[in-house]
Structure 1
Amino acid sequence: MSSNEQYDKYFLTYTGITLPLQLVNPLDPSETQNRNTYFGANLDAEGRLERVHKVVYGEVELEHRYGYNANGALQWAEIRDDDDEVQRLEFNNAGQRI
């Protein structure tokens, strides 16, 4: 996937292994011009991560999409890899994977 997307925020990397991704080291949009790899994030109306792209050499290598339940806990996550394979994970009301 080519990345011609506009993102709400940009980051250098992430930390941890839990979902949603914990993006760290914010980047100014202009800083992505000279980077081989960065993460672009879109936020929902509540300011939570809704979509994350890992962009490598201008191509989307990895995509995460997130949905939340009424209490704000993660309800589902879809992870699309560079082969366009999608894995969907479901979570209970407490945000624990089921």
Structure 2
Amino acid sequence: MMSEIHEARNEEECRYFLSYSGVRLPLKLLGPLEASELKNRNTYFRATYDAEGKIVSCEKLVYGEVELRHDYSYSADGVLARARIAMGEDVSEIDCGADGAPLRS
């Protein structure tokens, strides 16, 4: 289990985005939004970051419901070590190598 995942979140920690680019993990979020811009949006991403500025969680919200969630943990040197991706009931956990790239099994 990923004990490093930050489950507690307050609104001050959250940042909001329109979309993401690429396929590498962690997701690269694009189009920052202010919280005041969310009420007229049907779809957006909500992310939290650690003290070093690394993304620790990302959710895609559609009509107020979480459709997709990514949780990330990092090694002591700041490289992505593990990703947990949840889409509804489907959950995948991905271990990463020293370079942050997913390991193939």
1:85 Cα offset (Å): 1.7
- Give the TM-score of the pair, scaled to structure 1: 0.90
| Offset from partner CA, 1:5-42 (integer Å, 9 cap, x none) | 73520000001111000000000011111100000001
1:22 maps to 28
Taking structure 2 as the reference length, the TM-score comes to 0.84
One-letter code aligned to 1:17:
V
Give the RMSD, CA atoms, in angstroms.
1.2
Aligned residues: 93
Question: How far is the alpha carbon of 1:93 from its aligned partner?
Answer: 1.4
Q: Distance in 2 between matches of 1:35 and 1:77?
A: 27
Equivalent residue in structure 1 for 2:40, among 34, 39, 45: 34
2:54 maps to 1:65: no
Shift of 1:94: 1.4
Q: Equivalent residues in 2 for 1:1-98 (5 A)?
A: 6=11, 8-82=14-88, 84-98=89-103
Q: 1:56-84: CA deviations, max 9, x gaps? A: 000000000000001111000000002x2
Aligned-partner Cα distance in 1 for 2:17–2:101: 26
CA distance in 1 between counterparts of 2:18 and 2:50 reads 20
Task: Name structure 2 gaps, 5 residues minimum.
Answer: 1-9
Question: CA separation in 1, counterparts of 2:26 and 2:101?
Answer: 12
